[in-house]
Every structure is written in C-alpha cells, then in structure tokens.
Structure 1
C-alpha cells in the first residue's frame, strides 16, 4: 500500500488495543463501518495477531490494516503473516528494516531529531511523534517543523479532538488516536460511544480539510 498517500487522504489513524479479542475485532469493524479508513491493531493487545487475521478476512484484501507496537523483526514478520499491510513502531528498531524487506510501509516512532534521521535512513515512510502529548504537544511539532518542514509527522499519544485540530493546523500529515477515540470498546465496553467518538474525529478531519481549501 501507499501509506503516505493514505495518511494524506484520511488524516486519522485509529489505534485499537484491547484485552478482549472479540471486542477488539468488533471495534475494528465498527470503526470501518463509521468510515475510519486507517486502523492499527496494537500487538500489545491480547491475541492481537488473531484479531488482525480475522479483521483482514472481514474487511477484505483492499482495506488498509496496520499492526502497531512492532518492536523488532519477529513482530514485523508475524504481522505480515497475519495480514497487516503496514506497521507502526513505538521507536526506531530493526523491525523497520524487516518490514521494508517484506514490502510493508512503516510509520516509525520517533522523538528526537537524531531518531527522525535514523528512521528515514531505515526506510520509514512517515514519522510517529510519540508520546506527543506528554512531551511538548503541538508546540513540539511546531519546533520540529523548523528544521524538518516537509517531513510527514503523525503525532500520537494523548490526542483528543481539540489536539487533533491543532496538530493538523500545524502541518501534521495525520494524527494517531488511541484511547480518546476507542475508549473501553476494545475491552468489551460501549460500542455506541465508540461510534459517537468516531464521528466526532471524522468531523474534525473534514472541517480541517474544508478550511484548508
């Protein structure tokens, strides 16, 4: 898949991490029903590889589906085998290299300028600023865009709807959203609440796109 084009088109990556595999799968499918096109299933969730495999079957071969919290080469290979077509890492690691060898694009976790350059050298298509909300928030993205004005940054960590608006306005290619969007749905909680939050975040993206025109 063309990850960078998908990020530019959709601007939102939903991050699903849950202790209940059935609920996590239901969460993925609900997000897709609501129009969230880019979904990442974190490998730190229970039976995450099974969730990815089942989601791939349910969504079909063309829906973008990512594996998150990819820590190394074994995770990258397992995610590929389960049916993920892009990976997301929390840090710069050899998992990036292996994913690229397997033909999967990578959203690589970075924080410092040194990590940004390292991730790019390994072949990352986009750069996940993580944890964004705990280390400067939008002001840190603004600072990074000074020396790196054209790089595709995706802030992740503590991104609520208000922060999503601000990050996009500051030039983020997309935002990654976990608990502010998912809530307790992936642990067996409120699906109706998930639908409401999905619509809220999608509305933020649409409003931003309209203002940019």
Structure 2
C-alpha cells in the first residue's frame, strides 16, 4: 500500500488495543464503517495477531490494516503473516528494518532529530512523533519542521480532537489517536459512543481541509 498517500488523504490513524479480542475486532469494523480506514491494531492488546487475522478476513484484501507496537524482526514477520499491510513502531528499532525488508511501509516512532535521521536511513515512510504531548505538542512539531520541512510527521499520544486541529495547523500529515477516539470500545464499551467520537474527529479533518482550501 501507499502509506504516505493514505496518511495525507485520511489524516487519522486509529490505534486499537484492548483486553477483549472480540471487542477489539468489533471496534476495528466499526471504525471502518465510520470511514476511518487507517487502523492500527497494537500488539500490546490481547490476542492482537488473531484480531489482525480476523479483521483482514472481514475487511477483505484491499482494505488498509496496520499493526502497531512492532519492535522486533519476529514481530514484523508475524504481523505480515497475520495480514497487516503496514507497520507502526514506537521507536527506531529492528522492526523498522525488517518490515521494510518484507516490503511493508512503516510509520516509525521518533522523538528527537537524531531519531528522525536514523529512521530515514532505514527507509521509514513517515515519522510518528511519540509521545507527542509530552514532547511539547504542536509547538514541538513546528520546531521539527525547521530542519525537516518536508518530513511527514504523525503526532501520537494524548491527541484529542482539539489537539488534532492544532497539529494539523502546524503541518502534521496525520495524527494517531488511541483512547480519545477508541475510549473503552476495545474493552467491550459502547460502539455508539465510538461512532460519535469518530464523527467528531472527522469534523476536525473537514475543518482543516476547508482552511487549506482557502489558502
């Protein structure tokens, strides 16, 4: 898949992790129904590989489906075999290099300029600023664009709808959203509430697109 184009198009990466594999699968399918197609199933969730397999079967071969918290070469191989077609890492790690070797695009976790250069050398397709809120939020993203003006950054960590708008205003390609979007859905919570939160994030994306169109 063309991960960079997908990030630029959809702007939201939903991060699903939970203690209930069936609920996590329902969460993935609900997000897809709500037109949030970029979904990352974190390996830190219960039975994550099985969730990825079942989600792939339900969504079909053409739908984008990512795996997160990919740290090792073994992780990259396992998620590829389970049906993931893009990889998200929390750091610049062995998982980045192995995923690229396997032909999977990578959203690589970075924090510092040194991390960004290291991820570039490994062929990362985009850069996950993590944890973004603790790093300084939208101000830190603005600072990073000084030495890396064309880098595709995806802030992750503490990104609610308001923060998403602030990151977009500072040039974020997309944002990764966990609990502010997922809530308790992946643990068996309300899917109706999940749908409402998804629509709130869509409203931010639409507002950003309207501002960009006027520039």
The question of a shared fold, defined as TM-score above 0.5 by the shorter chain, is answered with: yes
Q: Does 1:100 align with 2:115?
A: no
Give the structure 1 partner of residue 127 of structure 2: 127
The equivalences for 1:3-152 within 5 A come to 3-152=3-152
Give the structure 2 partner of residue 153 of structure 1: 153
1:130: Cα distance to partner? 0.1
For 2:47 and 2:115, locate their aligned partners in 1 and report how far apart those are by CA, in whole Å.
Answer: 30
Q: Deviations over 1:90-138 (max 9, x none)?
A: 0001111110111100000000000000001001000000000112011
For 2:200 and 2:127, locate their aligned partners in 1 and report how far apart those are by CA, in whole Å.
Answer: 25
1:207: Cα distance to partner? 1.2
User: Which TM-score applies when normalising by structure 2?
Assistant: 0.98
User: How many correspondences in the alignment?
Assistant: 213
Q: Deviations over 1:25-78 (max 9, x none)?
A: 000000000110100000000000000000000000111100000011010000
For 1:101 and 1:65, locate their aligned partners in 2 and report how far apart those are by CA, in whole Å.
Answer: 18
For 1:108 and 1:143, locate their aligned partners in 2 and report how far apart those are by CA, in whole Å.
Answer: 19
Contiguous gaps of at least 5 residues in structure 2: none
Give the structure 1 partner of residue 191 of structure 2: 191
1:203: Cα distance to partner? 1.2
Give the structure 2 partner of residue 205 of structure 1: 205
Contiguous gaps of at least 5 residues in structure 1: none
User: Which TM-score applies when normalising by structure 1?
Assistant: 0.99
